[in-house]
């Protein structure tokens, strides 16, 4: 009896020493499933936690029986392990338990948009088109920043166009210039607008340089005078004449004399005459009419003899004291009215080129009497002299 007790004591001491020498990971504990065990362990035969086994390449490399217990180990990540799942509850929401492994559930479709969750760019929000503007694998329907410009779509005036955070909106319509087809709201598409950021419905381009006048800041009329210094920025006028000194050049001034009567209604366009009086009713106001009592006489008309009476109303335009009606040279002063060939044109204005016919010889009745020149009588037939 004493011998048996001694043997039992030795066995108990040996088992105690053995248990102390085993690492904590090798110590078993009761379990029902794998998740009841610690890291690197599995639930063997749904009873005890055991350490994961040997390396492998396929399921066939793993033992089917461990410590006399059927384990049905499989190869997971090149290590023989007990199946990673017992049911779908052991797997992530987008996976299912298949043959002991958690695999993607290609049939799951939580948002019911016809696209499996495993492939859906927005698995919780229906988006059958799967649009993904910035190609970040997050569909536009659930992407808070579609263009990846660090500006949330709710604050972005161009949610699908990234342009370095610039939020310019020229026409203030809430749509950023970068994605606004008509950025200046002038009803002309940016692609054909000669001033895409400056409203200009008429698309005027005086100098034809392709840049509209509304945004051509340098020289819109191409007259070599900067617009900010040009008194007619849209009409070429290098001389910069300004008759009434109102700061508006003559070529673009609708009231040249500043008399509050527009040029097209003013009978003296460049001389102020508010009353518009016109005594002879010739269309020229008395203020600019040097012959106010007879037709003609506008002060800028030609004045051949410089007597300040325009030719249109001057009875003697060449100033030779012979009226236009009696003058044989109306445009050349010739007081003597010499007409050596009696052809009715004074010598002073008759060209010497070509043959001259002596009308005085042909018609003796055409003759000079004193200082008055008798005009030829062209009603009588001419007789050429005999050749003898």
What is the 3-state secondary structure of 119-188? CCCCCCCCCCCCCCCCCCCCCHHHCCCCCCCCCCCCCCCCCCCCCCCCCCCCCCCCCCHHHCCCCCCCCC
Q: Is the pLDDT of residue 182 over 50?
A: yes
Q: 26 falls in which pLDDT band (50, 70, 90)?
A: very low
Tokens read off for 251: 């070529």
* Predicted TM-score (pTM) above 0.95: no
* Model pLDDT, residue 51: 62
* Model pLDDT, residue 70: 54
Task: Convert the pLDDT of each residue in 262-272 to its tens digit.
Answer: 999 999 988 88
Task: Convert the pLDDT of each residue in 272-308 to its tens digit.
Answer: 898 999 888 988 988 898 888 888 888 888 888 888 8
Taking the C-alpha atoms of residue 293 and residue 285, their distance in angstroms, rounded to an integer, is 11
**What are the counts of helices (DSSP H) followed by strands (DSSP E) for the chain?**
2, 10
**3-class secondary-structure state, position 200:** coil
Q: Which residues pair with 289 in a beta bridge?
A: 298
- Count of CA atoms in the C-beta half-sphere (13 A) of 5: 2
Which residues, including other chains, have CB under 8 Å from residue 257's CB and lie 6 or more apart?
Answer: 243, 244, 266, 268, 269, 270, 271, 272, 273
Q: Who has greater pLDDT, 246 or 41?
A: 246
Q: What is the chain's mean pLDDT, rounded?
A: 76
366 closest CA partner among 352, 382, 353 = 382
132 closest CA partner among 151, 160, 113 = 160
Q: Is the pLDDT of residue 224 over 70?
A: yes
**3-class secondary-structure state, position 75:** strand
| Overall average pLDDT of the 238-260 stretch | 90
* Model pLDDT, residue 363: 45
Tokens read off for 140: 């536009």
């Amino acid at each position: 009896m004493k011998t048996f007790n001694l043997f039992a004591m030795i066995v108990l001491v040996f088992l105690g020493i053995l248990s102390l020498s085993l690492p904590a990971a090798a110590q078993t504990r009761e379990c029902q499933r794998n998740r009841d065990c610690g890291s690197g362990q599995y639930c063997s035969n749904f009873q005890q936690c055991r350490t994961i086994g040997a390396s492998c390449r396929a399921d066939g490399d793993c033992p089917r029986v461990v410590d006399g217990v059927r384990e049905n180990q499989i190869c997971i990540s090149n290590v023989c392990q007990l199946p990673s799942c017992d049911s779908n509850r052991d797997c992530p929401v987008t996976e299912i338990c298949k043959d002991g492994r958690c695999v993607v559930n290609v049939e799951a479709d939580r948002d019911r948009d016809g696209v499996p969750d495993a492939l859906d760019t927005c698995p919780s929000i229906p988006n059958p088109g799967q649009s993904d503007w910035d190609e970040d694998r997050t569909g536009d329907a659930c992407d808070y920043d579609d263009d990846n410009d660090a500006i949330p779509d709710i604050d972005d005036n161009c949610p699908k166009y990234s342009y370095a955070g610039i939020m310019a909106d020229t026409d203030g319509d809430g749509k950023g210039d970068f994605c606004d087809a008509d950025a200046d709201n002038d009803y002309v598409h940016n692609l054909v607008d000669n001033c895409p950021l400056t409203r200009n419905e008429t698309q005027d381009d005086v100098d034809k340089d392709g840049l509209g006048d509304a945004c051509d800041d340098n020289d819109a009329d191409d007259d070599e005078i900067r617009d900010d210094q040009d008194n007619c920025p849209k009409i070429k006028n290098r001389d910069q004449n300004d008759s009434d000194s109102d700061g508006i050049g003559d070529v673009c001034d609708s009231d040249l004399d500043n008399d509050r009567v527009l040029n097209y209604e003013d009978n003296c366009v460049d001389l102020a005459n508010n009353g518009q009086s016109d005594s002879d009713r010739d269309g020229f106001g008395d203020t600019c009419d040097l012959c106010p009592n007879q037709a003609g006489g506008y002060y800028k008309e030609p004045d051949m003899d410089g007597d300040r009476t325009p030719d249109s109303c001057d009875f003697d335009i060449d100033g030779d004291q012979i009226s236009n009606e009696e003058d044989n040279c109306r445009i050349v002063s010739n007081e003597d009215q010499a007409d050596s060939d009696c052809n009715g044109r004074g010598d002073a204005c008759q060209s010497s080129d070509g043959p001259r016919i002596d009308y005085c010889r042909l018609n003796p009745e055409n003759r000079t009497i004193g200082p008055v020149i008798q005009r030829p009588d062209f009603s009588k037939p001419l007789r050429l002299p005999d050749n003898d």
